[in-house]
Amino acid sequence: MKNHQLLVLLFLLGLPIWAQQSESQKELEKSGNTVFEIKNPDFQLSPQTGMTKQHWKDAAMYLLQGAFGYIHSLDDPMKFPKQEGKSYPQDEGKVPTEKLEGLCRTLFVAAPLLKENPSLVINNIKVADYYRYQITKLTDPQSASYIVPRSKNGGPSQNLVEFGALSISLLVNPEVLWDPLTQEQKDALAKTMLSYGDGPTVNSNWKFFNIFVLSFFKEKGYAVNEKLLVEYLDKSLLDYRGNGWYNDSPAYDYYSMWAFQMYGMIWSEYFGKANYPEYTAKFIKNFKDLKDNYPYLFSQNGEMIMWGRSISYRTGAVVPFPLMGFEGDATTNYGWMRRIASGVIKQFFTHPDFMKDNVPTLGFYGAFEPAVQVYSCRGSVYWMGKIFLGLLVPDDNPFWTAKENEGAWKTEFEKNKVYNKFQGKSEILITDYPNIGASEVRAWCNAKVKDDWQKFRSTENYNRLSYNSAFLWQADGENGEVAMNYVIKNKANQWEAFRLYTFKKFEDGIYYRDVVLETDENIKFNLADIPLANGILRVDKNNSAVSFAMRLGHHALPKLDGEIKTTVRKIKNHEVTIIDNGKYQLAMIPLLGWDKSEVVTAKGLHPEANESSVINLSNNYVPQKEQSTVYATLMLWKKSGEKWSNKELLAVKKIGFSSKENTVNVTLSNGEKKLVKY
């Protein structure tokens, strides 16, 4: 297919224009990769995405065919080309676990397809035969795929995770994956898998891996440690914090929603209802809570935000939406739920950078090392295959039959307004911006680099001031390049980002946090975020007792087809800096406290393009009694091509700090007043 034909097709399918910036179709074909195409889209049933249940099956096949491109015989493991960087394996000792991940995670994609078509063949391999054969090899000491049972005093490991995953697939499709095995093979699997399931775990969503192993083998008549099963069920429920959110010890991220909620619903549907109805009722009750806020975390186009660890799992984040089909709740807007879920599938599967070597990259769209965790190997990405557990929902379910719609974006939201949803105990703020159709989140981050041995909870995956669906986070540069955060020149003469945040309150549309620099407790701020219709007003108070250089960054823009254009305007003695990449415009206006504004270019820091630009403000802070300690900043946005009025750019009419009251009075250009109370 020629380049212009591809772009026309992508446009007709409603794809974002970012598709233009990726490598050409000719280069893709040369590399052996192809972009997923939605064939025969149904815009009657699905006017936004064109996707039906059949297209979900097609997407699953697209993913599975790429994986089976590495399988030429039953003995070939699901082992894929390693992505350069910190992902494992770094030595041969981890290869068996790498193979186990590839096997168990691709099975999430295969199990629902095999439920409907047990005779499925890919690359001349009978898929069911392959998985049954490989599963039995896990217990064969002579096999290169052999997994040693957990020793008596052994702790939790990645093997527990993958056996938990395997148990889910066995539970939902035992007819194809379990029943044909010999009794000897079944007993050997039970011995090995229970050695992990009947043992210690990590105090996080990992408890569910033990739960699924114990539950599956109990279902199949094996003696299991039911006391431990109940203990882990109780502890998992104790992680619940309301509004659909669980706490993942200690973080909140996508996993805090989709992993816990998916595990609870799948366990309840396939085991809990018949065996532990009282626990099932609790999981279902918690599941019902998510529909009042989780859909609002996705953009109008059904795009997810780049936020938190394991974002390479991508489409897994939307599996709660099809699982709503198991509820049979007539009040659910199934058309909106499917629009979001299909939108996220399209967001990634139709992006030209999604696949490399016919395997999804570790990253967001393409490979992006700052977003990779050390516990991931290349096969880890197939955790995203959990979205296809949604295929277990029957064809005649309203999740599949309801007409697609845009939900709150059409029925609740009005242009030139902003909408906040605060999540109470989890302290998460979800914000929606109808003017650009973007969603945003602010959430927990309080992890020290020196204590973060896995090096992800203290990083840009969590420490940005906010995360937005329209603007992917950019990694920090060594020279102070920063996006959507402060960086401070520390005692070691290095730029250090804020990461130790303490939530204070959400009041009158203002989200309050305190923050302290990890390496110097004398550097501390009160932060106040005020979401506006076209961006954010920051009113931050510097309480530091020492001098230092500091920078604050807006979101970054990737360089797409052409150069990023910069415009500088003066409005009532305020300097306005605007950058435009042909898709979005970002404007930054310093109101109080700042010395300088500049556009900083970067290479290799942005997940969408090698080159990017960000507006940074800077100040050399010197503590003085007479000096105002408030830094007020407008961080605004619009779609490219839209004009800015002076009133929009100078969205603040008046601002004044009272040191006596420790407050800031703000009058917005639309007449609205805000009182910031630290």
Contact 676, 510 (CB under 8 A): yes
SS (H, E, C) 538-592: EEEEECCCCCEEEEEEEEEEECCCCCCEEEEEEECCEEEEEEECCCEEEEEEEEE
Residue 660: band (very low, low, confident or very high) from pLDDT cuts 50, 70, 90: confident
* Range 45-411 classified under CATH 1.50.10.10: yes
Q: How far apart are CA 597 and CA 599, in angstroms?
A: 7
pLDDT tens digit string along 542-576? 999 999 999 999 999 999 999 999 999 999 999 99
Segment 43-60 mean pLDDT? 98
> Above 50 in pLDDT, residue 169?
yes
pLDDT of 14 reads: 38
pLDDT above 90 (res 653): yes
Q: In whole angstroms, what is the distance from residue 25 CA to residue 8 CA?
A: 13
Q: In degrees rounded to 5, what are phi and psi of residue 404?
A: -60, 140
CA dihedral 361, 364, 370, 372 (to 10 degrees): -50
Express as a percent the part of the chain with pLDDT over 70: 95
pLDDT at 2: 37
Alpha helices in 268-387 (DSSP H): 273-275, 277-289, 320-323, 334-349
Give yes or no for residue 470 having a pLDDT over 70. Answer: yes
pLDDT grade, residue 480 (50/70/90)?
very high
The confidence score (pLDDT) of residue 452 equals 86
Residue 6 has pLDDT above 90, yes or no: no
- Complete DSSP assignment for 73-112: STT-----PPPSSSPSPSSGGGHHHHHHHHHHHHHHHHHH
Average pLDDT over residues 388-402: 98
- Asked if residue 193 has pLDDT above 80, the reply is yes
Give backbone dihedrals phi and psi of 129, rounded to 5 degrees, phi first: -60, -40
Q: In terms of Cα–Cα distance, which of 447, 443, 439 is closest to 497? A: 447
Structure tokens at 29: 């074909």
What does the pLDDT look like over 417-465, one tens digit per residue? 999 999 999 999 999 999 999 999 999 999 999 998 888 999 999 999 9
Question: What's the whole-model pTM score?
Answer: 0.94
Q: pLDDT tier at 644 (50, 70, 90 boundaries)?
A: very high
What is the pLDDT at residue 454? 82
* Residue 658: count of CB within 10 angstroms of its CB: 10
- In words, the CATH class of domain 413-648 is mainly beta
Q: Is the pLDDT assigned to residue 27 strictly greater than 60?
A: no
Report how far residue 276's alpha carbon sits from residue 278's, in angstroms, rounded to the nearest whole number.
6
Q: What is the mean pLDDT of the segment spanning 55-62? A: 98
Q: How confident is the model at residue 20, as a pLDDT?
A: 32
Residue span(s) of the chain under CATH 1.50.10.10 come to 45-411
Task: Report the pLDDT value the prediction gives residue 32, as an integer from 0 to 100.
Answer: 57
Four-point Cα dihedral 131, 132, 134, 136, nearest 10: 160
From 479, 499, 507, 528, select the one nearest 655 (Cα to Cα). Answer: 528
Q: What is the per-residue pLDDT across 324-376, written as a single tens digit (0 to 9) for each?
A: 999 999 999 999 999 999 999 999 999 999 999 999 999 999 999 999 999 99
How many residues can be counted in the chain? 678
Q: Give the Cα separation of 26 and 3 in Å (integer).
A: 7
Of 95, 109, 178, the C-alpha closest to 143 is: 95
pLDDT value, residue 459: 96
CA distance 311 to 297: 15
Q: What does each C-alpha distance from 9 to 13, 14, 57, 241 come to in angstroms?
A: 6, 9, 20, 44
What pLDDT does 22 receive?
36
Task: Return the DSSP state at 386.
Answer: G
pLDDT tens-digit map of 122-140 = 999 999 999 999 999 999 9
Q: Where in the chain is the domain with CATH 2.70.98.70?
A: 413-648
pLDDT digits (tens, 9 = 90+) for 592-623: 999 999 999 999 999 999 999 999 999 999 99
What integer is the mean pLDDT of 262-291?
98
For residue 19, pLDDT beyond 70: no
Measure the CA angle with vertex 205, ends 202 and 210; round to 5°.
65
pLDDT at 24: 36
| Residue 13 CB coordination number (10 Å) | 17
Residue 25 reports pLDDT greater than 80: no
Average pLDDT over all residues of the chain: 94
State how far Cα 668 lies from the chain centre. Answer: 33
Q: What is the DSSP letter of 319?
A: T
Q: Among 162-171, 576-585, 625-634, 667-676, whose mean pLDDT is lowest?
A: 625-634
- At 29 the pLDDT is 45
Percent of residues, the chain, with pLDDT higher than 90 = 92
